[in-house]
Structures are given as structure tokens and as C-alpha cells.
Chains A and B, each alone.
Chain A
Amino acid sequence: MTGASGAGKSSLLSMIYLARKPSAGRIRLFERDVTTLSRPETAMMRRKIGVVFQDFRLLDHLTALENVALPLKISGQRDEKVRRHVAELLAWVGLSEHLDSYPPTLSGGQKQRVAIARAVVGRPSLLIADEPTGNVDDRMAVRLLYLFEELNKLGTTIVIATHNESLVARFDHPVVRLVDGGVRVDRPRKGRA
């Protein structure tokens, strides 16, 4: 999803990950009209959605490892295997040196990668990433997008909001453009994904 700054990308995404309700219209997710969900149903649906927030929203008093393990803790997974799984994931995004670092001591790009690890750790059915590569160099950006592609192949639907047109051009996926309050969808040339 692309669009100029202030076009409404974050706003639209926040409605999809159930942080806000649309003032008009309806949103259907997983065969449900999300405006009719009860609080417990909303919680259960959110567990199927992983979110990389534009401002990361890491908990500063928890280590990188604890931050990433949080979705698993909340959904009741608390065995020893979790630590290994989480550590591997952090190693994959290049943070094996920082398992026990606290977010305030991490760089913007490092925080972003912790946020991405937290969003994908629970194997969500839907992954929403708001500007997930804004703070990393191009090499890491491409690497992260490959991670997303891998997840996509495993069956996860992925929505990424970005300004980075060159990144959009580099991959061959449907593009939603927010322009002047309207939506334009560009299908991929090869009809992939």
C-alpha cells in the first residue's frame, strides 16, 4: 500500500488491525464483520493478526527477547521451547547480540526489527506492517521483505504500507494506492500472489 504522507495509510491499517472502528462502512475479516465483534472475540481475532507499528510500540521495560515472546505469553504458550524459537527469530533479523537489550538502548532499525519479530512470532494469518523498512538500509529492507515473502508462501496474507516506490517496484505484488481519498489497485504484471 502506498500513498503520500498523510494519505491515510496508517488510518486504514489501524482499522484492519482492529485498533479503530470505521465511522462509516464495514470491514470484513476472516468471514466476520469486525464491527459486530464482542470484546473477547476481538481479542481472539487480534491473535490472528500480527502488526508492525510505524512507531514500533515496544515495551521499554522488557528485553528484546521478552518483547518478542509477549504475543506467545498472552496466548498462553509458556514452555521452554518458546525461548529457542524467539531467539532464532531474533538471530534471523540480525539481533542475536541483542537478545537481552532493552529497546531504549537499540537503534531505530534494531527496534524496527524487534517489532517485526514480535509481529511474526505467533505465525499470524494476517500480517500488517506500517512502514516496516523505514529505518533500515536497503540491504536489510530487502532481507525483511524476503522474510515477508516466505511467510506469504506459508499462507500469511501480508499488507505493507510504504513510501518506498523503488521497493514497490522491486517486488511483484498487488499495489493499493491511496490517492486523494480514493483507492486504486494495480494488479501485478505476472498475476502472482
Chain B
Amino acid sequence: MMLFARRDVPLDSDASGRFLPWLVAIMVYLAALALISALTMSRAIGHWQEGLSGTLTIQIPPDQVVAKAKSAPDALDRVLDLLIATPGVREAKVMEPEEIERLLRPWLGAAASLAELPVPVLISVTFNPAAEPDFAALARAVAKISPDAVVDTHQAWLGKVRDLARTVQGIAILVVVLIAGCAVMIVAFATRMGLSVHGHVIELLHLIGARDSYVASQFQAHVLSFALRGGMIGLLLAVGTVFLAGEVLKGSEAMVLPELALQPLDWSVLLLLPVAVALVATLTARFTVLRTLARMP
């Protein structure tokens, strides 16, 4: 009904009403980016782990591998025999020089020729997904054949990546918590300012019988509307940024991250963000009003 539509406390006309939505927008934007990086990071780890858990790489020094024509089996042949005999191994593949060159080119540059470099022979081993291979025993057996061979189960590397990812996630969570703290302080401050700017209106409302919760509801409605507005703006900006970043990164070579595209989980987190901000802001406004008024005589 029109007669009661308007708020009794004219908060919308305050200067704060103009900049608060933008403050909320910026906070939601930063929180969204932090959360997306954390989510992308954990997806990346899952991706790498999945790709690497059933595999290992064996490096054999080049001097232990005899050139094409040979009479007796060299270290490479014996390691391959060993692998074929190992239970659970699905495939043991010697990487072609072209493939190794392709992998190394980003680091060495196109000019370098592999022929001049002592590049080790790489065997890429894939296990059956169900197999639980005894990496240690395999490593010992390989060492017996070729003491300088390196059996890499990628665990050390994965461990480091996981640490990095955890750090990024920790920072992201810290950022979100700090932003939430910021939001609470800004809303509390703006609410207190509104209470003092409109002190005469609030006094009148009290004198004609308004309860504190009625006054609080006026502030809640105001804060809810600007928080939702700001939250949606921040969300749109964040989605736009992620989309742009995804487009830019798509073209880059040696892409180690999974595609920077928003997944269903990301979407639900993102959509929840403005709602959460609006909720936090509204509760803060209510609490601030009730506490401030209760202290009044």
C-alpha cells in the first residue's frame, strides 16, 4: 500500500546512500576473486593429482643406453623387461626424442638441439587404476639395473604444489574474513551516523510509540537494499573479470592450470556471496541500532 511504502527515516537521501553500494560492490568483487582463485587452485591440484597418481617416470642416464644397433640388452631394455614383469603396470612407454624436445622447448628455446645435450631417456609408466604398486620395491629393482636411474613418483613435486595451493587458499580465506570484518565495520559506522543524523526523526518515532525494533527495521530495509545492489554490481564485475582472464589465458602456452572457467560450484559460491553480504550487513545494522538505542536514556 502506497501510504506506508515510504521509509520514515529518510536514509536514502543521505550522502552515505550513494557511496555505500559501491563500497559493498568493491568488497564483493575482491571476495569473489579471492574465492575463485582458491576454488580454481583446489581444482588444479585435484586435476594434477588425478593425472599423476597412477603414473611414474623413470630417467635413465644417456650413457647407459647404447645406440640403435646393439648386441646385448642395455639398461633400458632390462628396465623395460622389469616393468613388464611388474604387476599392475598397464603401459611402459619410452618417450620419443621429439616429445622430449617439445616438453623442453619452452625452457631451452628453439635454437637448442637435443642431439648436443645429454638428455636422459625417459620411460613413462602408467599403472592400472586399481593397482597399488610398491614404488619403493620397484625403485630398488631399477637401482640394481642402473644405479644412476631416477624413479620419480611425482610425490615430492605434488607435495610442493599442494603446499603452494594451501597457502593460496589460506590467504584467500583470510581475505574473505577481512572483507567480512570490513563490511561489518562500515555498516556499523554508517548506521551509527544515520542514527545521529536522523536523531530528531528517531526521537519523534519513539515519542509516538515506536519500539526500537521498528526503528531498526527502517535501517535494515535501507542496508538490505544497498547491500543487495552493491553485491550484484560486485558480482557482475567479478564474473566479467574471470571471463576476461579466462580469454586471455586461453591463448597462453604451457598452460598448467585447468581452464579458468566457472564451474557449478563456483557459481553457487558467487551467487551466495551477495546474499551473505546482505545478510551480514542487515544483521549488523539491526544489532547496531538496537544496541545504540538501548544505551539511550
Does B157 belong to the interface (CB within 8 Å)? no
Determine whether the beta carbon of B8 is less than 8 Å from that of A59. Answer: yes
- Contact string against A for B residues 190-219, beta-carbon threshold 8 Å, 1 for contact and 0 otherwise: 000000000011011111111110100000
- Contact string against B for A residues 40-77, beta-carbon threshold 8 Å, 1 for contact and 0 otherwise: 10011011000100000101011001100111011100
Interface residues of A in 126-164 (CB under 8 A from B): none
Determine whether the beta carbon of A46 is less than 8 Å from that of B8. Answer: no
The verdict on A21 contacting B207 (CB below 8 Å), with A61-B10, A62-B6 known, is: no
Size class of the A contact interface (CB-based, 8 Å) = 20 to 34
Determine whether the beta carbon of B3 is less than 8 Å from that of A65. Answer: yes
The verdict on A39 contacting B294 (CB below 8 Å), with A46-B209, A74-B208, A74-B209 known, is: yes
Does A80 belong to the interface (CB within 8 Å)? yes
Does A29 belong to the interface (CB within 8 Å)? no
Contact residue among B208, B293, B297 (Cβ-Cβ distance under 8 Å from A70): B208
Residues on A with C-beta less than 8 A from B211 are 39-40, 43
Does A78 belong to the interface (CB within 8 Å)? yes
**How many Cβ-Cβ contacts under 8 Å join chain A to chain B?**
65
Determine whether the beta carbon of B3 is less than 8 Å from that of A71. Answer: no
Determine whether the beta carbon of B208 is less than 8 Å from that of A69. Answer: no
Does A82 belong to the interface (CB within 8 Å)? yes
Determine whether the beta carbon of B208 is less than 8 Å from that of A46. Answer: yes
Determine whether the beta carbon of B297 is less than 8 Å from that of A82. Answer: no
Task: Count chain A CB atoms within 10 A of each CB in B1, B205, B206, B208 and give the residue with the most.
Answer: B208
Determine whether the beta carbon of A21 is less than 8 Å from that of B297. Answer: yes
Residues on B with C-beta less than 8 A from A19 are 203, 207
Task: Count chain A CB atoms within 10 A of each CB in B1, B4, B212, B214 and give the residue with the most.
Answer: B4
What residue of chain B has the Cβ atom nearest to residue A82's Cβ? B3
